[in-house]
Structure 1
Amino acid sequence: MFRDQTILVTGGTGSWGHELIKQLLQKSPKEIRVLSRNETSQVEMKREFHQDPRLTFLIGDIKEREGLLEAGKGVDYLFHLAALKHVPVCEDQPIEALNTNVIGTQNVIKTAIENNVKKVVYISTDKAANPSNFYGFSKAMGERLIIHANTLKSNTTFVCVRGGNVLGTNGSVIHVFKNQIQNKAEIGITHLEMTRFFLTIEDAIKLLFKATYESRGGEIFVMKMPTCKIIDLAEVLIESSGVQNVKIREQGIRPGEKLHEILFSEYESQSTVYYDKEYFVILPAIKITGLNERYANFQPVTLKNYNSGEDVMTKAEIKAMLIKGGFI
């Protein structure tokens, strides 16, 4: 699919983008354009990839449509990763989150259609399912825009991939906890019963490719992800650190935070099917030609919703996951 193709990755210097580009380079593309606002990250990434001639680094912002249109010329595939992702930042600066996560996504859609891009893949989040914070609302709106784009008269198909927390990404709780252990001998946890979905970045990108290859356009592919209690994750990191007498302090849930995340809601479960062992697929409420027919023989889910409070990992399983990801 990607051999001799030109690919644009928005937000390409972030953790998702970094691993995505690493794996894309193994698929013999003609060119990968890395669009982001962070000059320093681009310089570091260029050095890390030994100035691979297939990589083109572009300083740009998805809020600025003209620059995005230029970046999209001649592009075959577009991975839309750029977003404001931190819940407190989006709560404090909702207008900026709206402009980036919603208006920026619409700019990506227009860019793709005008440049006749083959497929756009939008990376979403569990927080878009029954959202309780501005980040989640803005990503949910982005999902709806991406899905609706399949009804427009164009040759471009659009698909969403929804996942949970990816271990080790920028601002990850892993890094926060490890820093607190080493510098404070104390970990701050919002709630002792809080759970989250987790996956290694390598596995997340492999699943992302699968959705890219097999999607028709208009679906939301939902990754099946292991879940764990944050307190168990913290205790595994403490035990593995060798630091003695580390305290755990409960801080209280922050504005917009949920005790348990969900990857699809009770409402969405009515139009969700089992795709395979790794994915669910949420079908849209709007009519997209041929999509319901494509999934007519897939089994509807029997789950009321898909939430992180069920089937949590044991501490031994958490430790194995952290070792696999290279965090302990």
Structure 2
Amino acid sequence: MSMLSGSSVLITGGTGSLGKALIREILDNHNVRRLVIFSRDELKQLEARRLFEDDSRLRWFIGDVRDRHRLERAFHQVDYVIHAAALKQVDTAEYNPFEYVETNVRGSQNVIDAAIDAGVKKVVALSTDKASSPVNLYGATKLCADRLFISGNHYAAAYDTRFCVVRYGNVMGSRGSIVPIWKTMAARGESLPLTDNRMTRFWITLNQAVKFVLDSFEMMQGGELYVPKIPSVRIAELATAIAPDARTHEIGIRPGEKLHEEMIAADDSRRTVSLGSRYVVMPHLAGWGYKPPKDGIAVSDGWSYQSDGNEHFLSVDELRNMISEGL
């Protein structure tokens, strides 16, 4: 039986691509009593209500994570929270830096405080590969959010609430995916823009991301940063898989963008263990009684998890199959 069975679950930012995939999985397979969607956009909520045919278990809260009082109202009698709300566009962050601080940093602290005060049992916060050794403001705000959630276990130690973080790479099929954009351009006979032919990225499907998030509720003690073992892609090969006959042209790396992504930095290797299909970065300090996973295997000192040094790269054929199946 699922840990979520019979419980009340809330998703912040629940009308995005991952949020909707989580809604479908939770409604179909986890027998929840109530599923609360907390987000800012009333139009996206209306579209999602229609998509899920006004399922009687769903509740809809218009609100912003910047508003702690609204979070406190929404968290009433909630057992589990998935924190997916964030501002995410790298270039937009450089033009509007403090807006990202307000949502990604202050909003995260509001979620932490509201969860503790409401007696939420567990919170899983979603991170990004850009939070590891960040070179842009978006990544820096997400790294700060990660640390807030991990450290939130310290002052929740006297309570039942526990927090963990999950970090993964680019999600295939998400709203921001390059795949549908390149498909449209190729159909028009246009040249596909590549930032750099050498670029690599981590790659995960929506279904994999959903499973990883929900499995983390089962495993977490509080204080972990979970990273899935997922393949990498070469961006040039992704273009070939989408449109083998299309022309391409390089446009150069955008401000704040990396040539290769990283999910675990070398300096974190001393706290990282391999555990089945994931890595676990353990907390620096753990005054709430955290214990290292019994079956975890320590990675080598100085090891890092980077997209260009990954053991598994998806081939053009694998990418093409995934795209054709809509994964």
TM-score (norm: length of structure 1) = 0.94
Partner of 1:74: 77
Matched, 1:322 2:326: no
What one-letter code is carried by the residue in structure 1 that aligns with 2:284? A
Partner secondary structure for residue 52 of structure 1: coil
Q: Structure 2 matches for 1:94-109, cutoff 5 A?
A: 94-109=97-112
Matched, 1:170 2:172: no
Does 110-119 or 202-211 show the bigger shift? 202-211
The offset of 1:290, in angstroms, is 2.8
Identity of aligned residues (%): 38
Question: Structure 1, residues 41-71: CA drift from partner, whole Å, max 9, x if none?
Answer: 1111111111101011111110111111111
Which one of 20, 31, 34 corresponds to residue 18 of structure 1?
20
User: Which structure 2 segments of 5+ residues have no match?
Assistant: none
Partner of 1:298: 296
- Is this contact kept in 1: 2:275–2:295, CA < 8 A? no
The offset of 1:128, in angstroms, is 0.7
Question: Structure 1, residues 148-194: CA drift from partner, whole Å, max 9, x if none?
Answer: 01011321000100100110111211122223223452111110100
- Is this contact kept in 1: 2:223–2:286, CA < 8 A? no
CA distance in 1, matches of 2:208, 2:226: 15
Partner secondary structure for residue 127 of structure 2: strand
Does 150-159 or 311-320 show the bigger shift? 311-320
- Is this contact kept in 2: 1:167–1:201, CA < 8 A? yes
CA distance in 2, matches of 1:182, 1:320: 19
- Is this contact kept in 1: 2:282–2:292, CA < 8 A? no
CA distance in 2, matches of 1:101, 1:184: 39
CA distance in 1, matches of 2:49, 2:295: 46
Partner secondary structure for residue 73 of structure 1: coil
CA distance in 2, matches of 1:225, 1:33: 30
Partner of 1:203: 208
Partner of 2:279: 280
Matched, 1:232 2:212: no
TM-score (norm: length of structure 2) = 0.94
Q: Structure 2 matches for 1:126-165, cutoff 5 A?
A: 126-152=129-155, 153-165=158-170
Partner of 1:37: 40
Partner of 2:8: 6
What one-letter code is carried by the residue in structure 2 that aligns with 1:150? N
Does 140-149 or 298-307 show the bigger shift? 298-307
The offset of 1:289, in angstroms, is 3.3
What one-letter code is carried by the residue in structure 1 that aligns with 2:298? P
Which one of 59, 65, 84 corresponds to residue 62 of structure 1?
65
Cα RMSD after superposing both structures: 1.4
Does 174-183 or 90-99 show the bigger shift? 174-183
The offset of 1:86, in angstroms, is 1.3
Give the number of aligned pairs. Answer: 319
CA distance in 1, matches of 2:90, 2:175: 13
